[in-house]
Amino acid sequence: MRVSRLYVTAALNVGGRIELDDDAAHYVRSVLRLKQDQAIALFNGQGGEYLGRFSEVSRKMVRVEIEQFIDRDVESPLAVTLGIGISRGDRMDWAVQKAVELGVTQLTPLVTERCVIKFNDDKKQQRLQHWQHIVQHAAEQSGRTRLPEINEIADLPVWVNDRRGPRVFLDPYAEKTLADMQPENQEVTLLSGPEGGFSDRERQIAKAAGFIPVRMGARILRTETAVLSALSAVQTLWGDFN
């Protein structure tokens, strides 16, 4: 029987017990519909996971008794930093979810010239919190024991100038492919555009910051498809798909 997995922020220790916060408790009761004495796997992003059992599942409290530590690691040896132009609604959500499943180490949502969504400060925080929840649930589902970092929403010209190591941006008009590249110290940075792609000015900004344009085949891909394809490609070339 498959055991559900749950991310928690609390410290975890064999023989200890934790009381889930309101959001996690609601998820256990109303989404997973788990009951007292059923098993659960917990992880807090520090590596490994803990097997436990519910000692109480009620409207008042959800409590877990921690029974066993499992030292497992499913992280790719390739550290992938992803900057992704913000796209509308489900497209962005889907890209974030799949990036986590495909082993991204950290990602940053980027405001670009062709972004169709405009943010004030409150809206930025709401969207960031929404994407953080997607990251968390994707890590739970995919078996990851370390939570990828999602950074504050940034402007593309600022973000590109703060990168180190090999840097590539996805450009359907480029001549090079990822096969022409090599990571350094098992690190690579990917830059993917929003709907409509990058403007000519943004291409020049990225190149001036050391980003090399690469193409993903002969066809023009949607923004969410480009992210999935690029991450799959780098994991195949240099990560744990090989």
Where do the structural domains in the chain lie, given as residue ranges?
Answer: 5-70, 79-237
Q: What is the pLDDT of residue 89?
A: 75
Q: In 3-state terms, what secondary structure has residue 53?
A: strand
For residues 153 and 189, give the distance between their C-alpha atoms in angstroms, rounded to a whole number: 17
Which of the following CATH numbers is that of domain 79-237: 3.40.1160.10, 3.40.1280.10, 1.10.1740.10, 3.20.20.100?
3.40.1280.10
Cβ-contact 222, 138 below 8 angstroms: no
Please, which residues have CB within 8 angstroms of residue 86's CB and are 6 or more apart in sequence? Answer: 92, 109, 110, 111, 112, 115, 117, 153, 194
| Pairing status of strand 154-155 against strand 106-111 | parallel
pLDDT digit of tens for each residue in the chain (242 aa)?
A: 688 999 999 999 999 999 999 989 999 999 989 999 999 999 999 889 999 999 999 989 999 999 999 998 899 999 999 999 998 878 899 999 999 999 999 999 999 888 777 777 778 889 999 999 999 999 999 999 999 999 999 999 999 988 877 899 998 888 899 888 888 889 999 999 888 888 999 999 999 999 999 998 888 888 889 999 999 999 999 999 87
- The superfamily CATH assigns to domain 5-70 is Hypothetical PUA domain-like; domain 1 (2.40.240.20)
From the list 131, 198, 213, the residue with the least C-alpha distance to 167 is: 213
How many Å apart are CA 86 and CA 95, to the nearest integer?
10
Closest CA to 213 of 198, 223, 225: 198
| Residue for token pair 């980027």 | 110
What is the rounded CA–CA span in Å between residue 183 and residue 189?
9
- The pLDDT of residue 1 is 61
| Cα gap 191→83, rounded to integer Å | 5
DSSP-assigned beta bridge partners for residue 107: 82, 150
What CA–CA distance (Å, rounded) separates 22 from 40?
A: 17
